[in-house]
Each structure stands twice: as C-alpha cells, then as structure tokens.
Amino acid sequence: MYGRKASQLLKEFVSGEPGQLTGFNNDVFAQVIEECDGNILHLQALLRKMQEEGSNNQTNKNADHFGALVHHLSLVRNKRCLMAYVYNRAEVIQNLGWTIKHADLPAAVKEKLSISENEYFGKHSSNLQSYMLDLNLDLAVDMVPPKDPYIKVRVLEEIGEVLLSDQIANLAMHSILFLKRIDAESFISQGKMEELTS
C-alpha cells in the first residue's frame, strides 16, 4: 500500500515522549523517497501512454487517467508526511537552542540529529546568541520567576574553578553551594547541578 512507510515514520516520531528526539530515521526516510521515485516513473509512463493515444484527460476519464491520479495522490501524501516529519523535528531542535548552548550539545543528543539538522541547530542557536548579544541581555535565564536572588545547589558533575558574577567558585562534585540564580541556571539546565529546596 502506498504511503504506509511514510506514516510509520510519523508513528515512530509520536511514540516518543513529547519534547524528546529519536534518532533521525535515515533508512525509512530513504525508502519513502524511493517509493516516490517509483510513483513518478509510473505516473510518467501513464501520462505518456495517454498522450500517445491522443486522449484528452479533461474529457476522457479512462483507466489510465485514474491510475495516474492514484500515483499523483500518493506523491502528494508522501511529501506531506516527509515534510511533517522534518518540520516537527525542527521545532524540537529550535527549543533546544533555548536550554543548551551549541558547544555543549551532548554527544547522545548530537548523534540523533541528521547532518542538516545539526547545521540548523548550530545556526539557530548562534543567531539566538548574537541577538542576545545585541540586546545585551541573556534571554535564556529566569525562565521561572525568581523569589530570591540566591539559591542553594548541589553540584552533580566535576566542573572545576569557574568565574561567577560575584566570586570565583570551586565547583567540585557533590559540594553544596549558595549561588546567584543567574549563575546557577545554565548549569542546572545542562544537568550539572540540581536545586535544593530548603
């Protein structure tokens, strides 16, 4: 059945949790495009046959006409599926730009993206960065309205000596610190720290 493969691609995408990415499915993607190529060949063959017979497809709707129609519809359908797959993944990737900086994209996430998606992410986040630089304002902090400028955090990964906005801190693993929210926020979103409730 035409279009089956393409819908499998989308089913795989929705079966993952929202906001999570599964690996870009190159195999099925290529198979769908192959199916499209087959459709085009059939479509052209049928159109040629109709031309040779000299029948006008506006007036004379014969079996060849409907065969060509089925192939045309399959092409349109497959195109829609592939576009939706790429588009919906691109939306997830755009949201990544707000939480993680490009340089810090972990390998586990990186390998799930296709080459062009990686490029897209890089360009999108660098645009975002340069926009924030122009504004002289980090838009990615304070996603949660603050109650107190300082928070208590526990360091989950060895980070080392870091220059923070008000101090130089040694962020050793398992240490518990009292930091400015703006300093801690990016570390938390990268999973290197966790916030402690008092």
Partner 1 sequence: MAKYYDIDDILADEELVPAVFLEAVNGVGLLQSNETNRIEPRSKVELPFWLASELHLRQAASVNVPPCYNKKTREEIGADGAHVDLRSRCSYFYQLGCKIVQLIGDKTIGSLLLVAFQIRYKEVLIKAHTSASILGPKFLSLLTKEETKLYDAAKSSTAAFKSWRMGGPRFQKASVLGRKRKPIGE
List contacts with partner 1 (CB under 8 A). Answer: 1-3, 7, 10-11, 13-14, 17, 19-21, 42, 45-46, 61-64, 66-71, 73-74, 77, 80-81, 83-84, 87-88, 92, 96, 99-100, 106, 108-109, 144-145, 147, 151, 184-185, 188-191, 194-195, 197
Instruction: For partner 1, give the closer residue by CB, 144 or 168.
Output: 144
- Least distance CB 46 / partner 1 (angstroms): 5
- Least distance CB 8 / partner 1 (angstroms): 9
Instruction: For partner 1, give the closer residue by CB, 36 or 100.
Output: 100
SS3 17: coil
Nearest Cα residue to 112 out of 27, 14, 24: 24
- In degrees, rounded to 5, the angle at the alpha carbon of residue 49 between the alpha carbons of residues 46 and 54 is 130
- The torsion angles phi and psi of 60, rounded to 5 degrees, stand at -105, 100
Phi-psi region of 191 (alpha: psi -120 to 50; beta: other; left: phi over 0): left
- Least distance CB 91 / partner 1 (angstroms): 9
Instruction: For partner 1, give the closer residue by CB, 136 or 160.
Output: 160
Q: Where are the alpha helices (DSSP H) in the chain?
A: 4-15, 26-53, 63-99, 107-110, 115-135, 181-189
Instruction: For partner 1, give the closer residue by CB, 103 or 136.
Output: 103
